Amino acid sequence: MILIKNGQLVDSRGSIQADILLKEGKIHAIGLDLASEGCGRVIDAKGKVVTPAFIELHAHFRDPGLTYKEDLKTGSQAALHGGYGTVNLMANTKPVVDNPEVYQDIMTRAQELGLVHIFQNYAASKDLAGQERVDFDRIPDSVKFLSDDGFGLFNNKATFELFQALKEKNLGIMIHEEDKELSEIDYRYAEDVHTWRDVYFAGKIGNPVHFCHVSTVDALDAVRYGKAKGYPVTMEVTPHHIYLYDSDFKVHPPIRAKADVEALVEGILDGTVDVIATDHAPHSAEDKAQGSPGMIGLETAFPIAYKVLVQDHGQDLSLVSKLLSHNPAKILGLNKGLLEVGYDGDLTLIDLDQTYTAQDFASKSDNTPFKGESFDGLVEMTIVDGQVRYEREENHD
């Protein structure tokens, strides 16, 4: 058992000063002056924030096949350093996760590591080629979402048929919206057109669709329209798309204009945006120099979200918890994301008065424009299943 005393407990519903007791991997009790008898460890969290551990909906750990960039262990360690207890991985590994053998290998090795909870997306098309659907009869029962992340979906007819099959199988899909033909003209058009199309299909067919790393005013408006119509759509934005603008640091989709950033933040404030997800995309220095798009994000996500939403826009920390914990848990169907008795004992301790500097990453990679930048809000500890999986060294007893 672990007893955390004197912390400021924050989740999507608000904030209270209380103790929290973890037992057998679950939240066992919350209250004032909880007894410490029988506890294996008592943690004094006075002056610190205790939140549900963060849940990442969109990350790349490059394992198998590209482990010089990242692997399951280093990716999990980066997640823990950033306050994450659960990570959902994309399927663009080598080989691609388009068959149950590759899928099960990843899931087995992740479980053996015992660091964070790993969920693995399954490809929508064979080899992510966008030509032939994966064999739906062989998709393991534990798969929650399909995704060809990094690639737009099929043509209109094939996408319509895919959505129908997903509804029949009760599977969700996470979509990187891009019309490849339009990308050659303007990537803004490429994202906007496919987003509007797939919002429409989601509404007419009725299968759940999650829109990845939405980055433009019009793509946001498409999802807003779908939600107003009651369509089964959810969406994420990245920390870098709500913080940076007019930057030439190469990511996919690209960093947009200031007007897009302002629109995305407004989308968070009005409830259109469900999740902040990092699109953690590690690359070697050589690959990045040759133009590979993407940045690491797990270790910088909370400080950036805290700066943008709380410090710059005067929002409560509970909104950050909603975007990083509660809503991702709902989308994945997990018993996580709230500080509630009976919920999983996944917690993050944060010192808002301490500075986080983006350096000495746990990730194998350091491809981020935030390298060397400092933010308020330092993750001190990450607890998963009632066990301390990460603790900042300066805090060790």
- Superfamily for domain range 53-338: Metal-dependent hydrolases (3.20.20.140)
**Which CATH code is given to the segment(s) 2-50+344-391?**
2.30.40.10
Is the pLDDT score of 396 beyond 80? no
Three-class secondary structure of residue 103 per DSSP = helix
CA atoms within 13 A on the CB side of 71: 7
Asked if 271 and 228 count as a contact pair (C-beta separation under 8 A), the reply is no
Q: What angle do CA 348, 298, 76 make, to 5 degrees?
A: 75
Distance, in Å, from the CA atom of 337 to the CA atom of 330, rounded to the nearest integer, reads 8
Annotated catalytic residue within 279, 344, 346, 351: 279
Q: How high is the pLDDT of residue 383?
A: 98
Please name the residues in contact with 220: beta carbons below 8 A apart, sequence gap of 6 or more: 214, 235, 263, 264, 267, 272, 273
Fold agreement between 2-50+344-391 and 53-338:
no
Asked if 256 and 220 count as a contact pair (C-beta separation under 8 A), the reply is no
Q: How high is the pLDDT of residue 255?
A: 97
Torsion of CA 128, 186, 57, 251, to 10 degrees: 100
- Percent of the chain at pLDDT > 90 equals 93
Angle between helix 258-269 and 217-228 (nearest 10): 20
192 given a catalytic annotation: no
Mean pLDDT of 305-328: 98
Is the pLDDT score of 345 beyond 70? yes
Q: What is the mean pLDDT of the chain?
A: 96
Mean pLDDT of 6-11: 98
Q: How high is the pLDDT of residue 130?
A: 86
pTM, rounded to two decimals: 0.97
Phi, psi (deg, nearest 5) at residue 42: -115, 125
How crowded is residue 212: how many other Cβ atoms within 10 Å of its Cβ?
23
Given pLDDT bands bounded at 50, 70 and 90, which one contains residue 397? very low
Q: How high is the pLDDT of residue 276?
A: 98
**Domain range annotation of the chain:** 2-50+344-391, 53-338
Tell me: the pLDDT tens digits for 173-206?
999 999 989 999 999 999 999 999 999 999 999 9
Q: How high is the pLDDT of residue 97?
A: 98
Q: How high is the pLDDT of residue 394?
A: 64
- Percent of the chain at pLDDT > 70 equals 99
Query: Strand 2-11 to strand 14-23: parallel, antiparallel, or no bridges (unpaired)?
Result: antiparallel
Tell me: the pLDDT tens digits for 125-165?
999 988 889 999 999 999 999 999 878 777 899 899 999 99
Tell me: the pLDDT tens digits for 217-258?
999 999 999 999 999 999 999 999 999 999 999 999 999 999
- DSSP track, 336-382: -SS--TTSB--EEEEEEEEEEES-S-SSS----TTTT-EEEEEEEEE
Q: How high is the pLDDT of residue 51?
A: 98
Tell me: the pLDDT tens digits for 276-297?
999 999 999 999 999 999 999 9
